[in-house]
A and B are shown apart, each in its own frame.
Chain A
Amino acid sequence: MSNSTIQPALEVKNLTRRFGDRTILDHLSFKLMPGETLVIMGGSGCGKSTLLRHLVGLMQPDEGEISILGKEITQMNESQLNLVRTKIGLLFQSGALFNSLTVGENIAMPILESSYVNPSIADLVVKMKLELVGLTGFEHLKPAQLSGGMKKRVGLARALATDPQILFCDEPTAGLDPVMTAVVDTLISDLTKKLGITAVVVTHDMTSAFRIASQMIMLFQGRIIAQGTPDEIRRNPDPILKQFVNGEADGPIPLRLSKDDYLKRLLQA
């Protein structure tokens, strides 16, 4: 089958969001085919997490369209969105676990909520998902008994609990050691390559980004300044992109206000 006849897993057209007079997302357009992994890069505060929240229908854009698995979501009501959400998995930056529930109960929750699956089946699914993220045997612990990295992995297990067709991850490897980072990267690659899942990953970690991505986007001040395959991104001469990818302190990315702006703000009444 040619690519033109396959429906994109995710398609974004002219997505724009403003907060007051600040444009956080500025006419963003991109699409992602099933089985691909899109890595969204950009400095802190560039709009990455805001973009992710729009993609899963947690925020409404001022302009533009978002289609998930062929369905335009920006005009959907909450019950229509919930139907779409059964096909997606979401890993929040913090893991976002329920502290009063055990690890196993956290992971089982989306399975038991969205189906008539028996709890004994859900328990077996929990065991398989914990194995995927390297936490076999941890189902009876509470989140408070886990490190930050473990909570992140439990969050990933929960995001995968219902076998989503699209997985959205906000900083999946932040706070993980290099070995566990590689485990999570391999897992994301396996899910996309072997099972055909589509992944959208926001990350600062350039090693991870180039390891897992089939497509990459660099956001800067709410705009896409570079877009392409990892090879195209490596070859892209854009100085802002190069500074970010190489992790250099000196370059065009403004880290501080100009001296004049700083003094003006400091001294204004």
Chain B
Amino acid sequence: MTTSTRMEESITIFSIQGDIDLESSPLLRQELKKFSNAKTARLLIDFTETTYIDSSGLATLIEYFQSAATYQGKMGLSGLSARVKNSFSIVRLEEVFTFYPDLSTGIQTLKA
């Protein structure tokens, strides 16, 4: 797994490439901690190049979600493949996170 961060239209975009699994999710946690420590107001996590997410990856996102809620930080997930989206739905997380079909929809919605 590799990650990259950039700003676009005042939204922080965090892109994840490759597999999020038991081996890589501690690194994801470390990266997301930076956003919660900085109290990032609007974070869009881009899954366009994410090939797989396991339960430890889902748990890491839940932990960030809980943390962002304490400072009213907004968070969205964009560009998930059907298989990656299924990993969320099988443990009933579709209602916890906000999903956008692609990056630009996510940016436009979070900007509003």
Chain A residues within 8 Å of B, Cβ to Cβ: 111, 114-118, 120-122, 124-125, 128-129, 131-132, 161-163, 190-191, 194-196
Contacts and interface: CB of A to CB of B under 8 A. Distances in A.
Nearest to B26: A116
Nearest to B23: A115
Interface stretch (B6-14, B36-44, B59-67, B71-79): B59-67
Nearest to B89: A194
A204 to B, nearest CB: 27
A191 B87 CA distance: 9
B62 A124 contact: yes
Given A115-B23, A116-B26, A162-B22, A194 B90 contact: yes
Contact of A125 (B29, B56, B89, B92): B56
30 contacts: A114-B22, A115-B22, A115-B23, A115-B25, A115-B56, A117-B22, A117-B25, A117-B56, A118-B26, A118-B29, A120-B63, A121-B60, A122-B59, A124-B58, A124-B63, A125-B56, A125-B58, A128-B55, A128-B58, A129-B55, A132-B90, A163-B56, A190-B90, A194-B83, A194-B86, A194-B89, A194-B90, A195-B83, A195-B90, A196-B83
Given A124-B59, A124-B62, A117 B90 contact: no
Contact of B87 (A115, A116, A161, A195): A195
Nearest to B86: A194
Contact of B59 (A116, A121, A196): A121
Contacts of B56: 111, 115, 117, 121-122, 125, 163
A62 to B, nearest CB: 35
B49 interface: no
B21 to A, nearest CB: 7
Given A121-B56, A163-B21, 9 more contacts: A115-B25, A124-B58, A124-B62, A124-B63, A125-B59, A128-B58, A131-B92, A194-B86, A194-B90
